[in-house]
């Protein structure tokens, strides 16, 4: 009974973040004997974040009708998800005694007639093209952040929580790949075999500086540049078709940029896309079921008391709500 009570009280987003942090803590603790010096600060960092987030989750339950919960959860969730990008990538590199690059490259070669696709386009590479695709690679960050702001402020309550549940889940599943299948990407793995070096201007140098500052190529499989872009675009196609269609060419160019710049294998993009589409479908369903169960037990359907009345939940089709929930 107590576990069922926790299921109803703890937001699905919180379950995902706590689960991901627990995996990071268990992996770090289990591999301490490997004598990798990076594991000790990483374990301390993940334990601290887990403790802090559990404190927030407890406060969100205690004051679940308070207005601040509505704004705090998206901000805290996004901050933690962003902060884990580097730390979980480093965890995979430090804790695992293998790299997945060889296997990923073989899969790419099998998909493209026996040759890694980065070699197939090598003759086409010029500094101008490198700089062009570097711009779209960097544009990914602006695209994600803009979508998060619009997702937090521009959606009705239920749709907003559905959006963030799927978004956090997309990152969490991709991060598991960073931990258990660490890889550096084709640019590092095949570095000695390329005949045409990548050279560009401001945006390409920005990528190099940012990569160096975060510890190098850490998170490759699955691709979050691919997965997050697809998730955000697909969600908008279902809720704001015009905005979603506007993003389609940007997503395509981001995909191309990751291959041209030798950052991701094509299989990274394929699996990242599959993760995103799965989370896009499952996230709204999980959130809707949780809200209905809370409503049935007499709890506010959504934290913050925004939606104690749920006239629209029975009309969810394909993960989309047909009308706005009544305000509390």
Contact, 235 vs 318, CB < 8 A? no
pLDDT digit string, tens, across residues 132-173 = 999 999 999 888 888 888 777 777 888 888 999 999 999 999
Q: Is 70 among the domain residues?
A: yes
Q: Is 258 among the domain residues?
A: yes
Tell me how many helices (H) and strands (E) the chain has. 13, 0
DSSP-derived secondary structure letter, 220: -
Contact, 291 vs 307, CB < 8 A? yes
Q: Is 327 among the domain residues?
A: no
Q: Position of tokens 């401001």?
A: 202
Q: Is 291 among the domain residues?
A: yes
Give the integer Cα–Cα distance in Å for 54 and 102: 38
SS3 309: strand
Q: Is 53 among the domain residues?
A: yes
pLDDT digit string, tens, across residues 183-209 = 999 999 999 999 999 998 999 999 999
Nearest of 61, 15, 284, 125 to residue 292 by alpha carbon: 284
Give the CA angle between residues 119, 272, 7 to the nearest 5°: 165
Report the predicted TM-score, pTM, of the whole model to 2 decimal places. Answer: 0.88
CA distance readout (Å), 264 to 188, 222, 254:
10, 9, 11
Of the pLDDT bands very low, low, confident and very high (cuts 50, 70, 90), residue 306 is low
Q: Which domain holds residue 203?
A: 2-315
Listed in order, strand segments (DSSP E) in the chain are: none
Number of domains in the chain: 1
pLDDT digit string, tens, across residues 209-266 = 988 877 667 889 999 999 999 999 999 898 888 888 988 999 999 999 999 999 999 9
Q: Is 260 among the domain residues?
A: yes
Peptide bond into 175 cis (omega under 30): no
Q: Is 326 among the domain residues?
A: no
Q: Is 323 among the domain residues?
A: no
| Average pLDDT for 51-57 | 95
Give whichever of 45-49, 297-301, 320-324 has the largest mean pLDDT.
45-49
């Amino acid at each position: 009974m107590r576990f069922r009570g926790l299921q109803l009280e703890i937001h699905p987003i919180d379950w995902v973040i706590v689960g991901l942090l627990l995996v990071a803590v268990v992996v770090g603790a289990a591999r301490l004997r490997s004598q990798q010096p990076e594991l000790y600060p990483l374990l301390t960092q993940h334990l601290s974040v887990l403790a802090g987030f559990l404190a927030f989750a407890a406060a969100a339950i205690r004051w679940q009708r308070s207005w601040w919960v509505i704004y705090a959860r998206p901000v805290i969730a996004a901050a933690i998800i962003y902060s884990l990008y580097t730390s979980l990538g480093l965890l995979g590199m430090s804790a695992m005694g293998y790299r997945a690059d060889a296997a990923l490259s073989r899969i790419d070669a099998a998909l493209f007639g026996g040759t890694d696709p980065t070699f197939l386009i090598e003759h086409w590479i010029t500094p101008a093209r490198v700089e062009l695709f570097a711009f779209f690679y960097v544009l990914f960050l602006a695209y994600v952040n803009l979508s998060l702001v619009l997702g937090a402020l521009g959606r009705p309550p239920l749709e907003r929580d559905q959006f963030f549940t799927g978004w956090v889940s997309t990152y969490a599943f991709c991060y598991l790949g960073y931990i258990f299948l660490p890889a550096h990407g084709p640019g590092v793995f095949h570095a000695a075999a390329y005949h045409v070096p990548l050279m560009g201007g401001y945006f390409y140098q920005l990528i190099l500086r940012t990569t160096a500052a975060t510890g190098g190529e850490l998170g490759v499989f699955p691709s979050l540049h691919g997965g997050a872009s697809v998730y955000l675009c697909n969600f908008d196609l279902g809720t704001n078709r015009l905005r979603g269609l506007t993003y389609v060419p940007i997503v395509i160019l981001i995909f191309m940029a990751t291959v041209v710049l030798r950052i991701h294998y094509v299989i990274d993009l394929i699996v990242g896309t599959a993760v995103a589409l799965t989370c896009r479908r499952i996230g709204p369903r999980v959130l809707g079921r949780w809200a209905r169960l809370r409503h049935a037990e007499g709890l506010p359907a959504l934290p913050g008391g925004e939606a104690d009345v749920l006239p629209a939940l029975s009309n969810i089709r394909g993960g989309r709500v047909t009308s706005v929930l009544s305000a509390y």
